[in-house]
């Protein structure tokens, strides 16, 4: 009997977009949710907290600042039995490899339905003189090398060619395309070389551009291996997170949301909608929060 891909792995899910993505897929699908973070205990507590907002409703691109909160309040509890929390340090290949092995041991080969690489770092240098070597390397380790190593160690869990049963039950309940495993990495529009009109942010721009190239190359390998999987770079918009608090004010800031600016739960809900509509022929594309292609 062929196993149905039933595992969603979200790397960087103790807070922000990653946390809300984990909560959304846990609440709205029957997938096994694997939350990877540096603080698995606190991540688990946060994901299972139904008193705070979660992207559980449709129409996530509206201006409703209470997106998902009403839905979350109607839930007495999440199915915590489908949530596994593991510790991972995205700067360590050994740590990523160990997490992948733990998932393989528990759920088996061919189990991966969704992989989302969310962890990131941002130091917004204003000019060249603010660039520092150690911080530059840190950006590349987390924003570029981590997604690549995630591809390396989690892709062996993808279903082999011809092993994805066409009549298998849709455990994602329509939130992911039937018969296709999805790999998404959070990039940023500022990583686009074509779109760079303002300069600055050297470390962040360059590391995201490198990540985009890794995603594109990985997508070509998926095609060459004839796997029923597709990889994407994803721009979530400007998100009010701890990462961006120096210029957005952080989560729940009092100032009005600007165009293309979102709270973490709204950003997560947007990405859920984007991934719901991807197709195999979209493999290797760069999408923004509204599902529109971003130039490389």
Q: Where are the domains of the chain?
A: 7-288
Q: What is the per-residue pLDDT for 249?
A: 53
The tokens for 5 are 């891909």
* Continuous H helices in 155-289: 202-224, 245-248, 264-276
Selection from 85, 116, 92, 89 nearest residue 17 by Cα = 116
CA distance 226 to 206: 30
Selection from 89, 10, 21, 22 nearest residue 289 by Cα = 21
| pTM for the full predicted model | 0.89
Q: What is the per-residue pLDDT for 61?
A: 43
CA distance 20 to 266: 9
What H or E segment, with its residue span, contains residue 72?
helix 69-73
Selection from 236, 227, 242, 245 nearest residue 283 by Cα = 227
Detail the DSSP E strand segments found in the chain: 7-11, 32-37, 83-87, 112-117, 181-186, 229-235, 238-239, 261-262, 286-288
Q: What is the per-residue pLDDT for 111?
A: 95
CA distance 121 to 133: 15
CA distance 59 to 36: 28
Q: Give the single-character DSSP code of 293.
A: B
Walk along the chain (296 residues) in steps of 10 and give the mean pLDDT of each run.
82 94 95 97 92 52 45 59 97 98 96 97 94 97 98 97 73 94 97 94 97 98 96 93 56 61 90 97 97 96
CA distance 282 to 164: 19
Q: What is the per-residue pLDDT for 54?
A: 54
Q: Which CATH architecture has domain 7-288?
A: 3-Layer(aba) Sandwich (3.40)
CA distance 273 to 83: 22
> 127, exposed or middle or buried, with CB in 10 Å at 0-12, 13-18, 19+?
exposed
Q: What is the per-residue pLDDT for 18?
A: 96
Q: What is the per-residue pLDDT for 74?
A: 47
Q: What is the per-residue pLDDT for 247?
A: 55
CA distance 237 to 229: 25
What H or E segment, with its residue span, contains residue 140?
none
CA distance 71 to 264: 16
Q: What is the per-residue pLDDT for 70?
A: 46
Contacts of 30 (CB under 8 A, 6+ apart): 6, 82, 171, 172, 173
């Amino acid at each position: 009997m062929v196993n149905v891909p039933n595992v969603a792995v979200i790397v960087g899910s103790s807070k922000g977009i990653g946390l809300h993505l984990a909560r959304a897929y846990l609440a709205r699908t029957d997938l096994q949710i694997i939350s990877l973070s540096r603080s698995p205990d606190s991540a688990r507590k946060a994901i299972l907290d139904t008193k705070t907002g979660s992207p559980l409703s449709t129409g996530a691109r509206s201006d409703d600042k209470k997106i998902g909160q009403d839905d979350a309040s109607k839930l007495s509890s999440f199915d915590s039995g489908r949530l596994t929390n593991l510790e991972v340090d995205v700067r360590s290949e050994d740590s990523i490899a160990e997490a992948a092995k733990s998932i393989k041991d528990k759920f088996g080969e061919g189990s991966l339905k969704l992989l989302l690489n969310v962890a990131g770092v941002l130091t917004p240098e204003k000019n060249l003189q603010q660039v520092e070597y150690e911080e530059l390397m840190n950006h590349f380790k987390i924003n570029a090398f981590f997604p690549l190593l995630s591809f390396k160690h989690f892709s062996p869990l993808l279903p082999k060619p011809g092993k994805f049963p066409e009549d298998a039950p849709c455990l994602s309940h329509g939130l992911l395309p039937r018969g296709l495993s999805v790999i998404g990495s959070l990039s940023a529009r500022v990583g686009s070389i074509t779109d760079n009109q303002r300069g600055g942010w050297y470390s962040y721009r360059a590391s995201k551009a490198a990540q985009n190239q890794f995603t594109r190359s990985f997508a070509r390998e998926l095609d060459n291996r004839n796997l029923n999987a597709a990889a994407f770079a994803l721009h979530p918009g400007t998100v009010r997170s701890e990462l961006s608090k120096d210029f957005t004010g952080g989560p729940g800031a009092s100032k009005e949301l600007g165009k293309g600016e979102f709270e973490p739960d709204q950003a997560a809900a947007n990405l859920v909608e984007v991934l719901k509509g991807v197709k195999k022929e979209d493999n290797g594309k760069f999408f923004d929060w509204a599902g529109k292609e971003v130039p490389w």
